[in-house]
Amino acid sequence: MKKFFTPLILSVLLLCSCSESNPLVLHQEKKVAAQVFAPIPADFVPRKLTIVSAGDSLTQGVGDSTGQGGYLPYLKTMLEKEKGIQEVDFYNFGVKGNRTTQLLKRLKTPEMKEVLQKTDLVILTIGGNDIMKVVKDNISNLQISNFTKEKAAFQEHLTQIFEAIVQENPNASIVLVGLYNPFSTWFSDIKEMDQVVAEWNQVGQNVIANFSHAYFVKIEDVFLTAAEDLLYTDHFHPNDKGYELIAERLNETLGDRVIPDLEKSSYMVSTEEN
> Strand, helix or coil at 159?
helix
Amino acid symbol at 272: E
Question: What pairs with residue 217 in β-bridges?
Answer: 177
- With contact defined as beta carbons under 8 Å apart, do 131 and 196 qualify? yes
Query: Would you state the pLDDT for residue 189?
Result: 61
Q: What is the dihedral of CA 62, 63, 64, 66, to 10 degrees?
A: 100
Query: Would you state the pLDDT for residue 188?
Result: 60
* pLDDT < 70 stretches in the chain: 1-45, 184-191, 264-274
> Strand, helix or coil at 53?
strand
What is the pTM assigned to this prediction?
A: 0.80
The single-letter DSSP state of residue 238 is: B
Query: Would you state the pLDDT for residue 153?
Result: 96
Query: Would you state the pLDDT for residue 26?
Result: 44
**147/197 Cα distance (integer angstroms):** 10
Query: Would you state the pLDDT for residue 45?
Result: 57
CA distance readout (Å), 142 to 29, 103, 147, 184: 86, 26, 9, 14
Domains of the chain, with CATH numbers? Answer: 47-273 (3.40.50.1110)
**263/267 Cα distance (integer angstroms):** 6
> Strand, helix or coil at 48?
strand
13: which residues sit within 8 A by CB, 6+ positions away? none
Query: Would you state the pLDDT for residue 184?
Result: 63
- With contact defined as beta carbons under 8 Å apart, do 218 and 201 qualify? yes
**267/196 Cα distance (integer angstroms):** 41
Query: Would you state the pLDDT for residue 152?
Result: 95
Backbone angles phi, psi at 232, to 5 degrees: -70, 175
Query: Would you state the pLDDT for residue 23?
Result: 46
